[in-house]
Structure 1
Amino acid sequence: MQTLKLPEFDVKLKDDNVFCLIRKKWVFLTPEEWVRQHFLHLLIAHLDYPRGMFKLEHTMSYFKSLKRSDIIVLDREGGVFLLVECKAPDVKLDQKVLNQVATYNKVLDANYLAITNGMRHFIWQRTGDGLIQLKEFPSYGHD
């Protein structure tokens, strides 16, 4: 798999699978999963996000269609603190990807939205007027 612009870690690989840090099981290794596992490691090991507050591939209903978010981090009250959309490294992070995560957020109502392809990462904070792009990820529990 491609080297990403995310911290390296001792990733566990077996055949075509990677051991998921959160789900505690082997999952099929796709380029998007490679990005997701590295991003999870960043949030947990480098930004001190609590491992028990993550939900992966959360299914939601939006206008009669089912959507599935990549990473959700819950706040201490059970609301959505951070919503992350992961893409494969060769996928361009453009307006279409931002629209995708913004659509998910109409259901989830996260305080922070992020998109990553493992090479580039963008984070926004939701405000009353829309979204403000941030330069760095918030610490967990930051309001």
Structure 2
Amino acid sequence: MQPLNFSSYNFRFKNSENKVAIFDEIRKKFIILTPEEWVRQHVVQFLLQEKKYPKSHINVEKLLKINDVKKRYDVVVFNADGSIRILIECKAPEIKIAQNTFDQIARYNLTLRAEFLMVTNGHNHYFCQMDFDNEKYHFMKELPHFETNTTKL
């Protein structure tokens, strides 16, 4: 797999049915290594190692329903109270991040109501803070680090 615009992380790999699999620390199992999974696993390590979020606050690839349509989010980070702090959309490195990518994560966020958004293809990372009152998002330079007081008041 190609190098990405993240720090260097140590991953566990194995061959599974003639395909390479990577160990997902959150799902606690090996996942077939696709280009998008390569990005997703870097995001997980970025959250754990650099932003210091605990594993127990991170969830990967779960179904959600939006207008009776089943969708799957890539990564979410929860606050201690169970609300969603960060919603992350991962794309394969060859996928260009465009307006439709932001539209996709914004549609997901109508249901999830995350405080922060991250969109990445492993090379380009975009971070936003939601402004629900004005129905828009504001771009940021980086995501916040984990704080022990991330519950909403």
Q: Do both proteins adopt the same fold according to a TM-score greater than 0.5, normalized to the shorter chain?
A: yes
Report whether the alignment pairs 1:121 with 2:93.
no
Flag the structure with larger Rg. Answer: 2
Deviation at 1:140, TM superposition (A): 2.1
Report whether the alignment pairs 1:80 with 2:84.
yes
Deviation at 1:45, TM superposition (A): 0.5
Count of residue correspondences:
143
What amino acid is aligned across from residue 78 of structure 2 in structure 1? L
2:140 to 116, 134, 140: 134
Gaps of 5+ in 2: none
After superposition, the C-alpha distances for 1:41-77 in whole angstroms (9 at most, x for unaligned) are 0110011011111111121111121010000000010
**Could you say what the CA RMSD is over the residues aligned between the two structures, in angstroms?**
1.1
* Structure 1 range deviating more: 15-24 or 86-95: 15-24
Runs of 4+ in structure 1 deviating by more than 3 angstroms, as ranges, are: none
Q: In percent, how many aligned pairs have the same letter?
A: 36
Give distance in 2, aligned partners of 1:138 and 1:45.
13
What's 1:43 paired with? 47
What amino acid is aligned across from residue 47 of structure 1 in structure 2? K
Asked whether the 8 Å contact 1:58–1:72 carries over to 2, the reply is no
TM-score, length basis structure 2: 0.90
TM-score, length basis structure 1: 0.96
